[in-house]
Amino acid sequence: MIRTALITGASKGLGKTLAQFLAQQNYNLVLTARGRHTLQATTDELHSTGEILAIPGNVADAEHRRRLVDVARELGGLNLLVNNASTLGPTPLPELAEFPPEAFRYLFDVNVIAPIALVKDALPLLKASRGLVVNISSDAAIGGYLGWGGYGATKAALDLISLTLANELNPFQVGVVAVDPGDMRTDMHQAAFPGEDISDRPTPEVTLPFWGWLLGQDPLAVTGQRFQAQAERWEVRELA
Active site residue ranges: 151
Q: How far apart are alpha carbons 125 and 133 in whole angstroms?
A: 12
Residue 55 to residues 36, 71, 100, 171, Cα–Cα distance (Å) = 8, 9, 30, 31
Q: Give the DSSP letter of residue 26.
A: T
- DSSP letters, 164-220, are HHHHHHGGGT-EEEEEE--S-S-HHHHHHSTT---TTSPPGGGGHHHHHHHTTS-HH
How many Cβ atoms are within 10 Å of 196's Cβ, its own excluded?
A: 9
